[in-house]
Chains A and B, each alone.
Chain A
Amino acid sequence: MDFRTRLISAAFFIVIFTVSSLSAQLVGEVNQGGFEDYSIAAQDILNSDGKESELSKELTSTLRKDVELTGFFALLNPKGFLEAPSIDLDVKDFKNWLNIGANGLVKGFVKEGKESVLEIAFYDVAKGKKVIHKQYTSSPEGMRMAVHKFVRELVLILTGETINFISSKIVFVEKNAGAYSLVTTSFDGSDRRVLYSSNSIIALPSWSHDGNEIYFTSYSTGNPYLYAINRKTLKTRIIAGYEGLNTSADASPDGNSIALRLSRDGNSEIYVKNLKNGSLTRMTKNLSVDTAPSFSPDGKQIAFVSDRSGTPQIYRLFIDNPSRVERLTAQGNYNQDPEYSPDGKHIVFTGRDEYYRFDIFLFDLESRIILRLTQNQKKNENPSFSPDSRLIVFSSDRTGKNSLFISNITGNRQILIYSGNGEVITPSWSPELEELK
């Protein structure tokens, strides 16, 4: 799969027709306006005959999802469009778009074949100008990636920001009638791939430092051992098979070690396992539960959960001096599953409020303010940051069963990205997986 993706990437042939000088002026406008003020109309993508096809519909939905997911723009509802879709990218009259309040417009069409060609353009509606016009060539399977790249370009030109997750993946556990699957999808919930299935429990997946492997716990031997699976070859190897629980691996930023939870000494404790020489260093030592470790991006601290105060709370320890432990959450009496943002500014976690509802919260390490991202939308759990620290994936049962949602870090935009056959739980977002051209 990823080998193929790489081939697709290499085979991309991109034609840039125009990059308007307007782009420089646009940089910053979006940010100054704030979230959702810059509205984008994404017109239906058609095939080169001017009709809808399976592929064109898929690309349209990918485009709209991307525009929403990036978190910078407001996506206009296509039901309000005054103009029928067409393959004419030489737009002269923007009246119909001005009238519905669009700041920007995206139009495109795909010429289908063994090598498909996506031609797609972005227009500044107010100024009446085409700003981006690109042509991407790849196999039909690679066309979604072409849309991702276009949207990344769009974000760069409009905001000056580089989104850094279009090749990233999300791993999670899918439970269906007692069967467990370890599944990956791309960041937008497409390209579902089952890496490992079992009737015994699979739990708590996370990514290796380079994104080539996924750590997870399996009960396939009867005991909860920690394994790594290579996402390309699907080969598994055991990482920790001590007595008791072997779970919750989190890769260190330098890739040399993992933090994990072991209960080999009779109680859940945080350890660091050196992956080069296999040595174990115990980080916590008490009779309480200590679990769910997450390395800070500088590798100097580990955030974790402990019930040493009586209820689970978020703490962090300092690796140089593990006995120095700082409690981070004082609010709420039940906080779990911390994860550092890759930029080191935040820790996202699951908290339980006074009504016993589970929601996603964000701890700002500088101000020490806690921001609530979800509320009154049933149960929300297991948050994980995108590689660029802008977005958070989590599981929620707001649609009736656990599915995956993505939120920006203010919580004001939440989008369903994946809903499986069964319960979809414990997502973990990968690092950006490969350099793209």
Chain B
Amino acid sequence: MLKKGFMSFIVLVIALLAVSCTQPPEEERKLAEKAFRDAALAKDCDKENYVAAEELLNKAREAYAKEKNDEAKELFIKVKEKADAMLEYYRTHPDECMPKKEVVVQKEKKVVEMDKDDPANPDMEFPLIHFEYNKYEIRDEDEAYIKRIYNWMTNFEEAVIRAEGHADERGSIDYNMALGEKRAQAVKKALVMLGIDANRIKIISYGEERPVSDGHDEDSWYQNRRVEIVKTNF
């Protein structure tokens, strides 16, 4: 009875082994094929893995065709793992992996709504630095803006900027050119003091020639007394 039972166990094990060795790995094949098809989404952003997965899959198909079932099964499992990893990468890196058109839309939205003030954003919008009438000292309330420009320049070390100084319409064309230059210099100096290489900051003055507001009141004048930062090589 015991012997018979033992024998049956052996037979069962052998049978199981025989099944596992001889049966084609249908399940693994289906899973691998599907995973690979799905992973095609990530084809562009994870090309290396995609090519590797494709190679594996071709080998697996070959083994499967030649009924090298064990080898085929192992390969199909590897294909699935690879494809799953690609899909995971795709899910966690939508910016890189989404189809191009959608990427643009998404990116723009993101910049406008979230990142325009973020120094980590290469397209950060530079804050305007404003000045008091006939003055070229940076006001306390603008220190945070200077810091933001500094942070951006630290994040993008190759970038060179131009500080463009402007004056309001009052006073002479001649003197206002000097005033605009002094203001641009003040911004440059503040950034250099924080540690930015002076060679990365060009300056120019447009005097009163490039107003942003055409009005003749204090509000317009305030808007026009400014330094604008422009990226020159980025």
Contacts and interface: CB of A to CB of B under 8 A. Distances in A.
Interface of A: 201, 203-204, 219, 222-224, 244-245, 247-248, 261, 263, 266-268, 289, 291-292, 305, 307, 311-312, 334, 336-337, 350, 352, 356, 358, 381-382, 425-426
A334 B171 contact: yes
B205 A224 contact: yes
A356 B170 contact: yes
Contacts of A222: 204
B174 A204 contact: yes
Contacts of A244: 181, 203
Interface string B150-190: 00000000000000000000111111011101100100000
Interface residues of B, number: 19
B206 interface: yes
17 contacts: A203-B177, A203-B207, A224-B205, A244-B181, A248-B174, A263-B178, A267-B182, A268-B178, A291-B177, A292-B172, A312-B134, A336-B171, A350-B172, A352-B171, A358-B171, A382-B173, A425-B173
Instruction: In the A-B complex, list the 7 residue pairs whose CB atoms are closest, starting with the nearest.
Output: A289-B178, A336-B172, A268-B178, A292-B174, A201-B209, A337-B172, A336-B175
Interface of B: 134, 170-175, 177-179, 181-182, 185, 203-207, 209
Contacts of A245: 177-178, 181, 205
Nearest to A305: B175
Nearest to A425: B173
A305 B176 CA distance: 12
Contacts of B209: 201, 203
B198 to A, nearest CB: 11
Contacts of B207: 201, 203
Contacts of B173: 203-204, 382, 425-426
B205 A266 contact: no
Contacts of A311: 134
Given A203-B209, A224-B205, A289 B170 contact: no
A342 to B, nearest CB: 20
B152 to A, nearest CB: 23
Nearest to A350: B172
B207 to A, nearest CB: 7
Nearest to A311: B134
